[in-house]
Amino acid sequence: MSDPADRTAEAVPQGWRAALGPALATPEARQLGRWLRGQEADGRTIYPPRGSRLAALELTPLDAVRVVILGQDPYHGPGQAHGLAFSVAHGVKVPPSLMNIYKELRSDCGIEPPGHGNLEHWARQGVLLLNNALTVEAGQAGSHQNRGWDAITDAAVAAVAAKTEPCVFLLWGSHAKKKAMRVPGLGSSHHLVLTAPHPSPLSAHSGFLGCRHFSQANAFLETHGRGRIDW
């Protein structure tokens, strides 16, 4: 983990290092850092920018996680991605999937959209907004899948599943469900696992809208003495 050619491990927040250590020590993880630097050296634009790629882990330490929401890739448009799944930086137009998330929040909990797409306030309350791949090339959706991020983010999900405190896993779309299925025993554990179609415009009307995941998550957390999320 001290290989100067790969600083991925050193960048991981302290609260996650023990849980992610084995994944970070693999050849795939070490190669990931070298590959990313090579892509940038070739002039490719990578999102999100350096310094924000591990924002989900920085804002939501392992011991604070209460809810996990899994995404696939960071947004690949200019200025959008800032390290949190489904979230965009202040001043950036709210993407369609997040618009549908806000619609469901209004229907489920009576919460009006905030006028921006920044979900840091969720992350700071223990909502882990984790993408499967934590980087993407500009304009190239899925371009950094199967480059080494999977093992690291799988380990993060497994670390939450191993917690003794009950947590909620919100799995939207087939990709999130498949990722969670790689965690042994998650479906039969003491956690609450809720599934629905992805909130994208292509599938939101197939069951995401009306899923009532936000109220169910809060009811579960309150029942287990873990407090509500201020969505």
Catalytic annotation, residues: 73
- DSSP for 38-60 reads HHHHTT--EESPTTSTTHHHHHS
In whole angstroms, what is the distance from residue 152 CA to residue 72 CA? 14
Residue 145's contacts (CB-CB under 8 Å, 6 or more residues apart) are 72, 73, 132, 133
Q: Where are the beta strands (DSSP E) in the chain?
A: 46-47, 67-71, 127-131, 136-137, 168-172, 192-196
Strand, helix or coil at 24?
helix
DSSP 71: E
Reference 134, options 201, 226, 222, 36; nearest CA is 36
* Helix-strand-coil split of the chain, %, nearest 5: 40, 10, 50
Q: Give the number of C-alpha atoms closer than 13 A to the C-alpha of residue 173, restricted to the C-beta side.
A: 17
Q: Is 177 left (phi over 0), alpha (psi -120 to 50) or beta?
A: alpha
In whole angstroms, what is the distance from residue 64 CA to residue 53 CA? 19
